[in-house]
């Protein structure tokens, strides 16, 4: 679905072979593009290169806010590493402005730091005798820390006669303590099998509509935030010269040892967000890989 697109739903009855409508309810979806979004951000960046110490670094911090009434996310309705339904249509297609909230891809805080350091092994007296073995070493690092992404809590049933049903949201009647620091780290809402008691699905109420005689929930879109993300990647690089090609350009052999997620941190994805689904409030997927090591050799000539 392109950014800003919305779903509009209408009902129709299925025809019989002669073309007459027999009744029953089915859905047709119309996608339009009158969505509205705003984005504001501030960025601070510091960088420095020191030839004397063989060090270069850059640090960036961004604080931002993206608001819209519909979002398009990579991977469709379920993010590849999320476990949550991320892209439902509006629960009330007649009033899409009520969906205004943080964008599904909104990450409020992003911190990225990187550095490259020339390791002066060849300046250590005890190592000088090893010649080229002690020279040409570099240490590189990229560190990324972000705040969590937003997500909605969906009831999982059609509360009214409006919308697509799976987009309906409940009422919130309690405040969960969102954390991955408990003994059961994947219990993000904190109450295990009782996570659903923080919410109430408004069905079978006076004046309700639809198959369940309900009303639209009062819980907003993208009202909760998932766990933050932390990743630290390190690379050790060694270049060795092997003379020159054509009398001028150096021929080099480059060795790289790359450590992705070097501290083997567990980055949790978003929790299951269907109230009537299995494992509601529990995180069933990670948002990144475990520690990985990659070794490579490259000839540069």
Q: What is the pLDDT of residues 49-58, one digit of tens each?
A: 998 888 999 9
Higher pLDDT, 27 or 294: 294
Average pLDDT score over residue span 98-107 = 93
Closest alpha carbon to 166 in 276, 8, 244: 276
pLDDT band at 1 (very low <50, low <70, confident <90, very high): very low
Tell me if 64 sits within 8 A of 41, measured CB to CB: yes
Asked whether 225 and 149 are in contact (CB, 8 A), the reply is yes
Residue 63 scores a pLDDT above 50: yes
Whether the predicted pLDDT of 6 surpasses 80: no
Which pLDDT band holds residue 175 (cuts at 50, 70, 90)? Answer: very high
What's the pLDDT at 20? 54
Alpha-carbon radius of gyration of the chain: 27
pLDDT at 80: 41
pLDDT over 70 (residue 253): yes
pLDDT one-digit tens code per residue, 133-172: 888 899 999 999 999 999 999 999 999 988 776 789 999 9
Q: What is the reported pLDDT for 115?
A: 95
Q: What is the pTM of this model?
A: 0.80
Distance (Å, whole) CA 122 – CA 231: 31
Helix, strand, or coil here: 175?
coil
């Amino acid at each position: 679905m392109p950014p800003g697109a919305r779903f509009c739903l209408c009902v129709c009855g299925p025809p019989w072979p002669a073309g007459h409508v027999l009744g029953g309810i089915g859905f047709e979806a119309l996608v339009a593009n009158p969505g509205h979004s705003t984005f504001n951000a501030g960025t601070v960046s510091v960088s420095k290169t020191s030839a004397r110490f063989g060090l270069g670094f850059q640090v960036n911090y961004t604080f931002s806010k993206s608001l819209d009434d519909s979002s398009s996310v990579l991977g469709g309705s379920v993010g590849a590493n999320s476990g949550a339904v991320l892209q439902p249509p509006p629960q009330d297609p007649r009033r899409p402005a009520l969906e205004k909230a943080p964008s599904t891809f909104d990450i409020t805080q992003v911190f990225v730091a990187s550095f490259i350091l020339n390791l002066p092994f060849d300046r250590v007296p005890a190592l000088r005798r090893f010649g080229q073995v002690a020279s040409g070493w570099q240490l590189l690092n990229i560190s990324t820390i972000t705040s969590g992404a937003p997500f909605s809590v969906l009831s999982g049933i059609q509360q009214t006669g409006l919308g697509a049903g799976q987009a309906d949201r409940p009422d919130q009647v309690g405040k969960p303590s969102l954390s991955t620091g408990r003994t059961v780290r994947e219990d993000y809402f904190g109450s295990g099998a009782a996570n659903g008691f923080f919410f109430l699905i408004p069905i079978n109420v006076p004046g309700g509509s639809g198959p369940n005689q309900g009303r639209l929930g009062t819980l907003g879109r993208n009202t909760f935030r998932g766990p933050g993300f932390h990743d630290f990647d390190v690379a050790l690089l060694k270049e060795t010269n092997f003379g020159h090609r054509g009398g001028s350009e150096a021929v080099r052999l480059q060795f790289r040892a790359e450590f992705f997620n070097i501290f083997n941190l567990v980055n949790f994805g978003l929790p299951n967000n269907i109230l009537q689904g299995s494992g509601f409030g529990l995180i069933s997927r990670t948002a990144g890989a475990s520690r990985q090591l990659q070794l490579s050799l490259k000839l540069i000539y």
